[in-house]
Amino acid sequence: MAQQAAPLPTTYRPARRYPLMRRLFGRDWQLGFAFIAPIVILMVVFIAWPFIKALYTSMTIRNLATRTDVFVGFDNYIRLYSDPFYIQAVRATVIFTFWSILFKLLLGMVAAMLLHGQKRFRNLLTGLILLPWIVPSVVQALTWKSIYEPLFGGLNPILRAIGLITTDIAWLSDPRFVMGAVVAVNVWAGIPFFTVNIMAGLSSIDAELYEAAQIDGANAWQRFTAITLPGLRYVIAVATLLSTIWTFNGFETIWLLTAGGPGNMTKVYSILAYEKALRSLQFGPGTAVAFSLTPVLAAFILLLSRYMRRDVGRDDVITWQDRVIDGIGWVIGTIGSIIAWPILLVAGFIGKLLPAGRQSAKRNALIGTLFRSAGLAIMLVFVLFPFYWILITAFKSDLQIGQRTSIFWPDPWTLAQFDRLFYREAFFLWFQNSTIIAVTTTAVSVIVAALGAYALARLRFTGAGPMQTILLITYLLPGALMFIPLYGILTDLRVINTRWALILTYPTSMIPFATWLLMGYYRGISEEMEHAAMVDGATRLKAFLYVTLPLTTPALLAVTLFSFTAAWKEYLFAFVFISSRRLMTLPVGLAQTIVGDIYPWGLLMAASLLISIPVVIFYMYGQRFMVAGLTAGSVKG
């Protein structure tokens, strides 16, 4: 028998052991920690530490005799539940937020669908719709305050001319109308945010789905409910989340319009916190007011955060968060359907009257175009009238404004307000300060967000998941609360009353949103190109700089637009942290021209016009990149 060959020795390759640091902190911990470090530093110094100081302050009461803070635990919070002023403030906050969000969502969706179907002049029309969002809050408030003014404003004459009223209405001092007036301003300023996000969502929906549904006999309403609404589910959730937090924590516009009056009808909780903390010097109770509603917002944030952190590979997994969100979406959809029912009824009746067949297709398309044009015209009148009011008031003399002569057209046109603005006020110095601060903070925000978003979207390291949630939670902190502890920190850093005070604090409010937008964009870019570059010898850093980063140009431009606008229009921090007249920004300098109850309307409108021109030009040329960035980024995030 032939001798059997001995079996080859079997070798066992031991399991690969990674270095200790990699096992502890993740595969990409070195680059990930380096990229995320700027965000962490900013968040710790200018958000986390002020938050902790404010939380401690909310549990103290100031002893005026010894001028020391006495720790009282949760007593300040317990007293709030029996405080009628606090209960009224919470009620006003909820009413203001609910109606503002509802109408911003509905009108924003209408505007987005009208613009999405528009072929000619689409970029121009989109830029015009965006105008209310990009002007500073002080311009928004003062413009509408001028329009609402019962004697010199433009709203009452219009309503009298069309027969809706017979006597002038004091919109901002009559308890029957003041909440509606304030909500209308917030809706006017917030429609563009919903419009641009929903336009981005509409652009991401495959057109073939509509064609297939139309072939199957689905009408316009069925296509809307079966394709459009499900396709917009994510973008509506994210836009509603962000806008709800901003609206809930709103301060500047309401404060400049009504200061919380009349009779506390519009005194939202942020104004009550401001008045208690600074006007009454009750820092502990005032801070407790600001913190009292944080659990409500925190629950809302954690509930919706799944949509901004969702795992693309597990979209088929239905969680309880999904069911709750679907319920909220059903409620919003039902309310919208009820409101839209009369319009749909008229549209259906008209549709039945239209003839069918190929010969009438062009006629029907023409009628559809006319209806779209009429809808856009109505929307543009609502959006652009305040800007028209700014323009005509800026070229009136004080005598024309006071005598109410030629209300809707200057007669004669005069440059007196600009002459006063240029030669009697420090307008050019304020303009210079705003430009330096806006450009610098925008550059910082874009760079930091680009690095941090890449780390959170692409790299694997310990703490990436919690960091995403922390970025969302930063939206909880209202500016009316944070500026109190921030003032002390900036004083310790010796940068108070300098441009650095704003350059250091502005990015903390811009970076979270910018990071989320860029995260969505990075996730939409295939990693294969990076892997190919690394196979060719490039490091992960070089692959990011030379392969991935250039592909994010639309999203980077979108982030630039958002950040520049936020810095250009910010008012509260600039008002508190800058006391020197030569360092004031445009919004603060503009507000300083108001003395007591005397409003120089002509001067204010002239300054508002000039403040708006740079960002309007910026948006006219760059808004298409913003829409493209949102389309590829936020709707996929």
pLDDT in tens, 219-262: 666 677 777 777 777 777 778 877 887 888 888 889 888 988 88
pLDDT of 347 above 60: no
Residue 563: count of CB within 10 angstroms of its CB: 26
* Whole-number Å distance between alpha carbons of 452 and 511: 9
Q: Please report the sign of the dihedral spanned by the C-alpha atoms of residue 152, residue 156, residue 158, residue 162.
A: negative
Provide the greatest CA pair distance for the chain. Answer: 126
> Predicted confidence band at 440 (pLDDT cuts at 50, 70, 90)?
very high
Average pLDDT on 347-374 reads: 60
Which of 126-135, 155-164, 294-303, 622-631 is least confident? Answer: 622-631
* Cβ atoms 598, 486 nearer than 8 A: no
For the chain, how far is it from start to end, CA to CA, in angstroms?
71
Chain CA centroid to CA 580, Å: 29
* Whole-number Å distance between alpha carbons of 151 and 165: 14
pLDDT of 311 above 50: no
* Whole-number Å distance between alpha carbons of 455 and 464: 8
* Whole-number Å distance between alpha carbons of 25 and 360: 67
- What pLDDT shows up at residue 187? 94
Identify the helix (H) or strand (E) that includes residue 5. none
* Cβ atoms 525, 629 nearer than 8 A: no
> Predicted confidence band at 636 (pLDDT cuts at 50, 70, 90)?
very low
* Tens of pLDDT, residues 441-486: 999 999 999 988 888 888 777 777 777 777 767 755 666 667 778 8
> Predicted confidence band at 46 (pLDDT cuts at 50, 70, 90)?
confident
Residue 176: count of CB within 10 angstroms of its CB: 10
pLDDT of 637 above 60: no
Query: 412: which 2 tokens?
Result: 């004669």
The model's pTM: 0.80
598 forms bridges with which residues in the sheet? 595
Average pLDDT on 370-377 reads: 79
- What pLDDT shows up at residue 438? 92
pLDDT of 307 above 50: yes
Q: Which domains does the chain have, with CATH numbers?
A: 38-632 (1.10.3720.10)
